[in-house]
Chains A and B, each alone.
Chain A
Amino acid sequence: MQDGLSVKNLSFSYGAKQALKQVSFDLPKGRFCALLGPNGAGKSTLVSLLTRLLVAPKGEIRIAGHDLRGEANAALGALGVVFQQPTLDLDLTVRQNLAYFAALHALPRKGIPARIDKALDRLGMRERAEEKVRTLNGGHRRRTELARALLHDPKVLLLDEPTVGLDAASRMAITAHVHDLADQGLCILWTTHLTDEVRDDDRLLVLHQGQIMADGCTGDIRGERSLSDWFLEQTEMAS
């Protein structure tokens, strides 16, 4: 999994409460993988571990071949993240927000303006570069965050429930765009609890009560049922 994401035997607990139990999966590059799970399944904990906001005592995470424990800098440098919570500075312009991020990632100063233009072009946000984030709607703010996550050319892109709070049109646009990014060769991990964001040919990981309950191609997993019905049935059965 040189350019992908690999997780092995990851366990984590908050005191006595176990949040993740022996989670393992391998995601190759060029693939959109949806991590589906009900609230409280352990998705947020997994995201915190993948972004090193938390460190698990057991298990291994490799991002684009780099061990997150031993080579944290290289691993985080290959990871793009769109957090569930808004992380933009509302008083700064779109361009200033991206420039701040570029500096945090220690990107060479000379190339930053060109990188920002390229990332904004990719998301169709170039004409809004000089606008303050406060004036943007929810969909455009999300697109700005996505552009920012791509600024350092990551190999792996992690999106934590990125469509929360967006209207239907913005949701569809973001979902489609991230699928395109997978087609362009990125390894995508998209966490969600909304089944309509997952396509049949997407890889599907189902997390329930801290464990991987299903892993495979979405179409194969759901069979004749809709993904929503299958998901409800499985999570109810397991509870």
Chain B
Amino acid sequence: MNGWFGALRAIVGREFLRFVHQRERFLAALVRPLVWLLVFAAGFRAALGVSIIPPYQTYITYEVYIVPGLCAMILLFNGMQSSLSLVYDREMGSMRLLLTSPLPRWWLLFCRLLGSTAISVLQVYAFLAIAAIFGITVPPLGYLTVLPGLVIAGLMLGALGLVLSSFIKQLENFAGVMNFVIFPMFFLSSALYPLWKMAESSALLYDICALNPFTYAVETIRFLLYVDFDAKSLAWVLGSTVIFLAMAVWGYDPARGLMKRKG
């Protein structure tokens, strides 16, 4: 068992080193949600009124509403970026090193996932700190209670990234993932607008949003940020994580998965 934890330490440590070496990536990942929060939300503040919905107990400004969605956005982009680096790793060969280790492959993939999630969570906290500087805060205890939600949502989105990376043959195909996965997932969710607003516009779009696991990642984070708990959202996130993980392990299985079709 010591060997397993040694591998975990090494893989997570490598992710941290990679992160330290790519500080620009860290800044870029922070700029995106901050632009949304400080520019987009300020502009839309007047246009979008948000009524009192759980977990909020009073009227809130639009900036306050989109903070959980932007936390989830960081996890989403990082999960996908991490899968991009897996495709890169595979093209460059260093993925081979990981996959030819005598340790079980599912464990190695899980370690990789945990490492990238840990870094995403750090970035979310950096974002929350900057938001606080601009006066957009949550209850103090919320910063602590949200941690498990961020980890599980990060694992879910990272696992989805793993699944996609096992299906993508070449780096060039990744642009498609941006257009066909990241943007639809983000816009068809409760990140930027409450779902009841979506229902007013289109019942079909509302149904799609209600089936989007990303919606539940956002809601899990939203409730936990306000020291509250939504069992349905958490169940969706946990269930999706298990399914995506199983698909990722299948995708990387040498006997059955898509590695075989690479040729």
Contact = CB atoms under 8 A, between A and B. Distances in A.
A81 B6 contact: no
A86 interface: yes
B6 A106 contact: yes
A86 B92 contact: yes
Interface of B: 2-4, 6-7, 9-11, 14, 17-18, 21, 92-94, 96-104, 108, 254-255, 259-261, 263
A108 B254 contact: no
A76 interface: yes
Contacts, number: 92
A87 B101 contact: no
Interface in A89-137: 89, 91-92, 96, 99-101, 103-109
Interface residues of A, number: 36
A72 B102 contact: yes
B3 A106 contact: yes
Interface string A55-74: 10100000000000000111
Contact of A54 (B6, B11, B260): B260
Contacts of B92: 85-87
Chain A at the B interface: SS class: loop
A238 interface: no
A108 B99 contact: no
Nearest to A45: B263
A86 to B, nearest CB: 6
Contact of A53 (B14, B99, B103): B99
Interface of A: 14-15, 51-55, 57, 72-77, 79, 81, 83-89, 91-92, 96, 99-101, 103-109
Contacts of B104: 73
A62 to B, nearest CB: 15
B100 A53 contact: yes
B96 A53 contact: yes
B102 A55 contact: no
